[in-house]
Structure 1
Amino acid sequence: MLRHVLPHVFCAVLCILAAPPATAADLIGRASVVDGDTLDIHGARIRLWGIDAPESAQACRGRDRKLYRCGALAANTLDAFARGKVLRCRPVDGDRYGRIVARCTAGGADLGRFMVSRGLALEETQYSGGAYAADQLAARRAGRGLWSGRFVAPPLYRSCMHAHGTTAVCSDGG
């Protein structure tokens, strides 16, 4: 009996090993922007890979030292760029909040690169491996977006909000 089963098992193992690895399907469609690094496509919550944008309620100081809503500016800029375009998001990972982490493009333009190059998001090098380093350096040197004044890095802002719960305390007030 074992003699008759072994060829079938061997064939099945070979077929499994020869098959291409399973990958998650790209998400394609028009997006609604949640904030400067998060969007929804067909009900799927997507976090842009390799970047971190200010939180929606976060405030920063501009070149003129006045407070402005940098989180809202980031979200509105991403929304204006993506509006009416079909996005293609290639899943890379998931995060602890159940979101899909993906590299997304609109008209061939990488949304993470778009946000970092305008100074509206910071590169997360621990995930991106430096993919946006040149874009961030150029934005910083040119004083674009966040780099035009002072800001609290988004992870520090979130930590402060968990501890204190008030935007006035956690945004750059100085």
Structure 2
Amino acid sequence: MPESSFPLRLSRTCLRAGALFLLSVPPIAAIATTAPENGPAIITGLGRVVDGDTLDVGDIRVRLEGIDAPETAQTCQTASGETWPCGKAATALMRKLAERQDVACDRTGTDRYHRTLATCFVDGIDIGEAMVRAGLAWAFVRYSTVYVATEAQARKGNIGVWQGPAEAPWDFRRNEWQVAEVAAPKGCAIKGNVSSHGRIYHMPWDPWYDKVKMDERRGKRWFCSEGEAAAAGWRRAASY
């Protein structure tokens, strides 16, 4: 099946929202940073999407509170057993909603990687809620129950990932890490690459991970955690 053919059954509301915000532009060159622990309560700026649940708002990297989207390299299945790229579909919808749009985020805290956690809006639309309603993100109940009812509606409608068997993204990440750490030095499976785009790190489930050939003589580094990579000055690679 071509990667561009996403067998999704999105709600009319989400499709209308996506159509309003569709805009394809080159990536912004600025490097996003994490906000301080006592950062501003409201964050505003142009959005640049990293993946299905993370974006840069101005110069701050924001992880959407209460959702977990399939990783970009992740696939799901339809009811008939066909495989489709649900991770790419999630990233694509996030781009329709937030790429180069004026984003306003209500900061709720920081995660263990010191990324800003927030609920973000474009023209009054809750981006996280739109992702869950479209069946392209899970309600991340380990940390929040805000979108549980919305997920239940998507499940009932067999929308997005709920149209067939789907592996939860936290399980997908754990499995990909376990495979990668076997071959990585000391089990530190994050690849820190140096390129014309600067110092960028790739997680084992990122789409470009296997294409990065490690050569520490050229300044590339292995990291054991995202926090370690960020502290060393590397930034997370965008997933598209």
TM range (shorter): 0.7 to 0.9
Partner of 2:165: 150
Aligned partner of 2:40 among 11, 17, 24: 24
Aligned-partner Cα distance in 1 for 2:71–2:100:
24
Q: Structure 2, unaligned stretches of length 5 or more?
A: 1-37, 181-203, 206-240
Partner of 2:105: 89
Partner of 2:94: 78
Aligned-partner Cα distance in 2 for 1:131–1:25:
19
Aligned partner of 2:132 among 109, 116, 121: 116
Q: Deviations over 1:82-137 (max 9, x none)?
A: 23531101111111222111110111111111111111000012322x21122111
Which 10-residue stretch deviates more, 91-100 or 110-119? 91-100
Q: Which has the higher contact order (CA 8 A, sep 6+)?
A: 1
Q: Deviations over 1:3-37 (max 9, x none)?
A: xxxxxxxxxxxxxxxxxxx7624111221111110
TM-score by length of 1: 0.77
CA drift of 1:43 comes to: 2.3
Aligned to 1:127, what secondary structure does the other structure show? coil
Percent sequence identity over aligned pairs = 37
Asked whether the equivalents of residues 90 and 102 of structure 1 are also in contact (C-alpha less than 8 Å), the reply is: yes
Aligned partner of 2:149 among 114, 134, 137: 134
Aligned partner of 1:44 among 60, 65, 70: 60
Asked whether the equivalents of residues 85 and 107 of structure 1 are also in contact (C-alpha less than 8 Å), the reply is: no
Aligned-partner Cα distance in 1 for 2:142–2:93:
25
Aligned-partner Cα distance in 2 for 1:82–1:162:
29
Q: Structure 1, unaligned stretches of length 5 or more?
A: 1-21, 168-174
Aligned-partner Cα distance in 1 for 2:58–2:97:
18
Asked whether the equivalents of residues 50 and 123 of structure 1 are also in contact (C-alpha less than 8 Å), the reply is: yes
Aligned to 1:126, what secondary structure does the other structure show? coil
* Structure (1 or 2) with the greater helix fraction: 1
Question: AA paired with 2:82?
Answer: K
Aligned-partner Cα distance in 2 for 1:59–1:160:
14
Q: Deviations over 1:24-77 (max 9, x none)?
A: 241112211111100011221110000000111111112331111111100101
Question: AA paired with 1:154?
Answer: P
Asked whether the equivalents of residues 48 and 100 of structure 2 are also in contact (C-alpha less than 8 Å), the reply is: no
Residues 95 and 23 of structure 1: CA distance in aligned 2, closer, same or farther (over 3 Å) = closer
Number of aligned positions between the proteins: 145
Aligned-partner Cα distance in 2 for 1:109–1:127:
21
TM-score by length of 2: 0.57
Q: Deviations over 1:136-167 (max 9, x none)?
A: 11100000010011111011001001111387
Aligned-partner Cα distance in 2 for 1:30–1:85:
5
